[in-house]
Chains A and B, each alone.
Chain A
Amino acid sequence: MARDIKTIAAIAILPLIMMPFMGLTSIYVQTLQQGVAVVINEDPGKIVIGDHVFTTQQLVNEIENALKSKGFIVTTHNVSRFDIKVIIPKGFRANISSFTRLALIRIIKAVGSTKANAGESAVASVLGSFAHEVAVAKVDYLGRLARVKVSPSSVLDPIIYTTTLVGPSGAAVSVVESFRVMLGRILAFSLIFVTTPSIAYITDSVVGEKERKTFEALLATPVPRWSIVIGKALSASLIGLATGLADAIGLLLFFAIPSMTYGINLLKLLTPTLLAAHVSAVYLSVLASLALILPIVIRSGSYRVAQAFSLAIIGVASIVFFIALYANIGALTPSLRYLLYVIPYSHAVCMIKQAVLGEVWNTILHSLILVGEIAVLLAIAVKLFSEEKIIYSKT
């Protein structure tokens, strides 16, 4: 460990500094970006529906204000370079006041523009509001014509619905819980960072010791082979834990700092159970990575072979962690679920997700299964331990 203090410090401190910085700049840079929006009104004039009077200029003004609030420079003249162009075409007034036709608005977005989608969303919101106002006017007019008392909302929005969030016990929970679930996904995904460093440490611990010519003398001593295997795994796991936690904190800050600009403090959602589950999941994921690569490293004694297998392990781990970001493993089809459960990382992910939901026993169950899988892998590593293979393999 003394040998790697500078390296460990760099690996641990780097994400703590870089990731929050990345989160801040990702928000800040977006605000610095200025988009250009063009709004063309080819059909100026009034829109009359019964007693209600609108103008296309009113619509243009609302679109302009919405785009300006998103950081756009808005012009009503045609320019060659723009991010988004909104055209109110000729015939719009006649179509929108008709009871049998639809009114068209053309939106043109520049390909590759990062602001265009935000602009489109703003314009769509304005058009939705304007369309609603026009629809209310039409219903009111038709009701008067038919001499029927009509409530526009009962015609336009006949169905309303409510949404209630419930936890695993069935009791209603607040919206904050949904953010906690999102936090759980972020924490589960952060486990992806723990696999690579751990594998590098253990490979160096075995192959490196062989290269430094200290292994052969050690192998001839009475030290039990399981002691060598477990000792190397445990020392590498502590280094992996330190760097894994630093990565997780960095990733949390990467999301938390921008979220604060929207008034959401993700860090407040961390409960002691969730913290404990996450730290345990990080450590067990590190141990799992070590246990997976150890039999390969011990048997081959080669950096090249270890590197090839480590890529495979990282690949499998990445798949599991990406799944964690978008899906619940427990909700997958049984065949896929049980297949994933064979992979140690799936249980690490489930530990965090169950802790997020307050399911302590399920969290413990997954941790015990994971510990069992690690124990089996380490036992295989001890069984496969061959002094001859280590001594004679090419590094």
Chain B
Amino acid sequence: MAGDGAAVRLRDVVKVFGKKVRALRGVSFEVPRGAIYGILGPNGAGKTTTLRIIATLVRHDSGYVEVLGHRLPDERNLVRGRISYLPEDAGLYHRLTGWENLLYFAMIYSDTLEEARRMAELGVKLSGLSERDIHRKASEYSKGMARRVALARALMVGAELVLLDEPTSGLDVFSAYSIRKIIKNFAKSSGATVLMSSHNMLEVEELCDRVILINKGSIVAEGEPAELKERAGAANLEEAFIKLVGGVS
């Protein structure tokens, strides 16, 4: 399985919460290594559930899930060391500084303190925060600043697969722009596979090689942004999204 080009492989994955909530109804897709994929869908479509399954936080009820050549959930411990995950509402430890937050996570992924410091310094660069700001307590950060540190925390560890759940959700234009720039530069330089969910069409068009449209737990369409626009006969991705997703409901 390893080395066959797929960073993520899902086949007929089903997830039911409780007895009634079918979050995923047989989702199947593959993400090649080194690609940047976006998952688009309305609220409650199953985007976060999909990412959490890949991040080993949630067990699927049936189907096949393979991440970086490892089958889930059996080999989840092997997967965790090779991925990183940025939840939608990722918080920082408020009483620690930005630097300490980065160092704390770096120490999890490092064997020595020196290695952890180097990783945290990379995190500082990725965050784009000034020397003064990175040493302020996280409780003093704006939403945008906290998000940048959280994103840097996810990117600095050198993961082969990076999972980002709505990385620019709730941010102003400037902060969202910074985040996108960080992701774009990172993806170009590191060669890591990125799988991100978003509501932001501009972001998806700008960043993603391919897009997966999901609605009510099922994949509605998949393809390059231009492909999807053509298929839906839409002028932009937003229109394509509405036409293709709306057509199912």
Binding site for B on A (CB under 8 A): 2-3, 212-214, 216-217, 219-224, 387-388, 391-392
The docked-state distance in angstroms from the alpha carbon of A219 to that of B84 is 10
Q: Which residue of A lies closest to B105 (CB)?
A: A221
Known A-B contacts A388-B57, A392-B17; the reply to A220 vs B83 at CB < 8 A is: yes
The docked-state distance in angstroms from the alpha carbon of A388 to that of B23 is 14
Q: Is the CB of A214 within 8 A of B105?
A: no
The docked-state distance in angstroms from the alpha carbon of A213 to that of B147 is 12
The interface bits of chain B over 48-70 (1 if a CB of A lies within 8 angstroms of the residue's CB, else 0) are 00001001111100000000000
The docked-state distance in angstroms from the alpha carbon of A214 to that of B92 is 6
Q: Is the CB of A213 within 8 A of B95?
A: no
Q: Is the CB of A217 within 8 A of B153?
A: yes
The docked-state distance in angstroms from the alpha carbon of A372 to that of B34 is 49
Asked whether B85 is an interface residue with its Cβ less than 8 Å from the other chain, the reply is yes
Asked whether B16 is an interface residue with its Cβ less than 8 Å from the other chain, the reply is no
Q: Is the CB of B57 within 8 A of A222?
A: no
Q: How many A-B residue pairs have CB under 8 A?
A: 58
Min CB gap A384→B, angstroms: 15
Contacts of A2 in B (CB 8 A): 95
Asked whether B91 is an interface residue with its Cβ less than 8 Å from the other chain, the reply is yes
Q: Is the CB of A216 within 8 A of B109?
A: no
Asked whether B124 is an interface residue with its Cβ less than 8 Å from the other chain, the reply is no
Q: Is the CB of A387 within 8 A of B150?
A: no
The docked-state distance in angstroms from the alpha carbon of A219 to that of B58 is 11
Known A-B contacts A3-B95, A392-B17; the reply to A220 vs B57 at CB < 8 A is: yes
Q: Is the CB of A220 within 8 A of B85?
A: yes
Contacts of B95 in A (CB 8 A): 2-3
Contacts of B83 in A (CB 8 A): 220
The docked-state distance in angstroms from the alpha carbon of A77 to that of B127 is 91
Min CB gap A250→B, angstroms: 29
Asked whether B90 is an interface residue with its Cβ less than 8 Å from the other chain, the reply is yes
The interface bits of chain B over 117-152 (1 if a CB of A lies within 8 angstroms of the residue's CB, else 0) are 000000000000000000000000000000000100
The docked-state distance in angstroms from the alpha carbon of A221 to that of B94 is 19
Q: Is the CB of B84 within 8 A of A391?
A: no
Give which listed residue, B77, B90, B109, contacts A217 with CB less than 8 A: B90
User: Lowest 7 A-B CB distances belong to which pairs?
Assistant: A213-B91, A220-B85, A222-B81, A216-B87, A222-B80, A387-B57, A213-B89
Asked whether B93 is an interface residue with its Cβ less than 8 Å from the other chain, the reply is yes
Q: Is the CB of B85 within 8 A of A217?
A: yes
Q: Is the CB of B80 within 8 A of A221?
A: yes
Known A-B contacts A212-B94, A223-B108; the reply to A217 vs B150 at CB < 8 A is: yes
Known A-B contacts A2-B95, A391-B57; the reply to A220 vs B80 at CB < 8 A is: yes
Interface size class of B (residues with CB under 8 A): 20 to 34
Min CB gap A365→B, angstroms: 38
The docked-state distance in angstroms from the alpha carbon of A213 to that of B153 is 14
The docked-state distance in angstroms from the alpha carbon of A112 to that of B66 is 77
Give which listed residue, A213, A221, A388, A391, contacts B108 with CB less than 8 A: A221
Contacts of B17 in A (CB 8 A): 392
Known A-B contacts A2-B95, A388-B57; the reply to A221 vs B90 at CB < 8 A is: no
Contacts of B81 in A (CB 8 A): 222
Contacts of B150 in A (CB 8 A): 217
Asked whether B36 is an interface residue with its Cβ less than 8 Å from the other chain, the reply is no
Q: Is the CB of A222 within 8 A of B108?
A: yes
The docked-state distance in angstroms from the alpha carbon of A222 to that of B94 is 22
Contacts of A214 in B (CB 8 A): 90-93
Q: Is the CB of B84 within 8 A of A220?
A: yes
Q: Which residue of B lies closest to A223 (CB)?
A: B108
Q: Is the CB of B109 within 8 A of A221?
A: yes
Asked whether B86 is an interface residue with its Cβ less than 8 Å from the other chain, the reply is yes
Min CB gap A217→B, angstroms: 5
Min CB gap A210→B, angstroms: 10
Would you list 18 pairs from A and B whose C-beta atoms are within 8 A, ordered by A residue? Answer: A212-B91, A212-B93, A212-B94, A213-B89, A216-B90, A217-B86, A217-B154, A220-B57, A220-B83, A220-B84, A220-B163, A221-B80, A222-B81, A224-B77, A387-B57, A387-B58, A388-B57, A391-B52
Q: Is the CB of B87 within 8 A of A217?
A: yes
Q: Is the CB of B90 within 8 A of A213?
A: yes
Interface residues of B in 69-83 (CB under 8 A from A): 77, 80-81, 83
Min CB gap A300→B, angstroms: 15
Contacts of B91 in A (CB 8 A): 212-214
* Apart from A221-B108, A222-B80, A388-B57: 12 A-B pairs, beta carbons within 8 A: A2-B95, A212-B93, A212-B94, A214-B91, A216-B87, A216-B89, A216-B90, A217-B150, A220-B56, A221-B109, A387-B57, A387-B58
